[in-house]
Amino acid sequence: MKINITEDAKDYLLKKDIDGKHIFLALDDGSSKFSKLGGSCAIGNKFQLVISSVPDQAYTDTIENDADLNLTTGKEEVNYLGNGLKLDYKMGLLKLSDDSSILDGAVTVQNYEPTDAQTKDELAKDMKDIGNKIC
* Range name among 25-39, 77-91, 111-125 with the lowest pLDDT average: 111-125
CA distance 47 to 106: 8
pLDDT band at 113 (very low <50, low <70, confident <90, very high): confident
pLDDT digits (tens, 9 = 90+) for 64-90: 999 999 999 999 999 999 999 999 999
pLDDT band at 41 (very low <50, low <70, confident <90, very high): low
Q: Is the pLDDT of residue 21 over 60?
A: yes
Q: Is the pLDDT of residue 26 over 70?
A: yes
pLDDT band at 128 (very low <50, low <70, confident <90, very high): low
Query: What's the whole-number mean pLDDT along residues 96-123?
Result: 81
Amino acid at the residue 29: D
pLDDT at 2: 97
- Which positions ≥6 away from 26 have C-beta within 8 Å? 32, 34, 35, 47, 48, 49, 50, 59, 73, 74, 77
